[in-house]
Amino acid sequence: MPSMPGTLYLVATPIGNLEDITLRALKILKEVSLIACEDTRQTSKLLQHYLIDCPTISYHEHNERERTEQLINRLTAGQSIALVSDAGTPIISDPGFLLVQKAISAQIPVVAIPGASALLPALITSGLASHEFFFIGFLPARNGDRRKKLLEIKTLPFTIICYESPHRITQALADAQEILGLRKAIIAREITKLYEETLRGNLGELAKLVSEKPLKGELVLVIEGFNLAEHNNSTNQEISLGEAVINKMQTDNIDQMTALKAIARALGISKSEAYRRWQLESKDSKDSKDS
- Helices within 106-240 (DSSP H only): 119-124, 143-153, 169-180, 203-212, 228-235
Residue-level pLDDT at 238: 47
Here the contacts of 259-268 (C-beta below 8 Å, separation 24 or greater) are 266/152, 266/153, 266/155, 266/156
Closest CA to 49 of 16, 9, 11: 16
User: How confident is the prediction for the chain on average, in pLDDT?
Assistant: 90
In angstroms, rounded to a whole number, what is the distance separating the alpha carbons of residues 112 and 114? Answer: 6
Residue 163 and residue 198 in one domain:
yes
Residue-level pLDDT at 1: 41
Residue 224 and residue 140 in one domain:
yes
Cβ count near 217 (within 10 Å): 15
In angstroms, rounded to a whole number, what is the distance separating the alpha carbons of residues 209 and 224? Answer: 18
Cβ count near 34 (within 10 Å): 19
In angstroms, rounded to a whole number, what is the distance separating the alpha carbons of residues 251 and 182? Answer: 22
HSE toward the beta carbon, residue 199, CA cutoff 13 A: 22
How many domains, the chain?
3
Considering 179, 206, 228, which residue would you say is the last residue of a domain?
228
* Parallel, antiparallel or unpaired: strands 159-164 and 219-223: antiparallel
Q: Is residue 1 part of a domain?
A: no
Residue-level pLDDT at 119: 95
Closest CA to 198 of 130, 114, 118: 118
Residue-level pLDDT at 80: 98
Fill in the DSSP letter of residue 92: T
Q: Mean per-residue pLDDT for 62-69?
A: 95
Considering 98, 113, 128, which residue would you say is the last residue of a domain?
113
Q: Is residue 263 part of a domain?
A: yes
% of the chain at pLDDT higher than 90:
74
What is the amino acid identity at position 67? R
Residue-level pLDDT at 236: 39
| CATH at residue 186 | 3.30.950.10
Helix (H, G, I), strand (E, B) or coil at 8: strand
In angstroms, rounded to a whole number, what is the distance separating the alpha carbons of residues 115 and 29? Answer: 14
Q: Is residue 21 part of a domain?
A: yes
Considering 52, 84, 113, which residue would you say is the last residue of a domain?
113
Residue 244 and residue 199 in one domain:
no
Residue-level pLDDT at 224: 97
Q: Mean per-residue pLDDT for 244-269?
A: 78
Residues 143-189: pLDDT tens digits? 999 999 999 999 999 999 999 999 999 999 999 998 999 999 999 99
Q: Mean per-residue pLDDT for 262-271?
A: 72
Q: Mean per-residue pLDDT for 25-35?
A: 98
The DSSP secondary structure of 103-114, one letter per residue, reads HHHTT--EEEE-
Q: Is residue 2 part of a domain?
A: no
Q: Is residue 234 part of a domain?
A: no
* Cα angle for residues 128, 151, 178 (degrees, 5° grid): 75
Q: Is residue 235 part of a domain?
A: no
Q: Mean per-residue pLDDT for 222-240?
A: 66
Domain interval for residue 279: 240-290
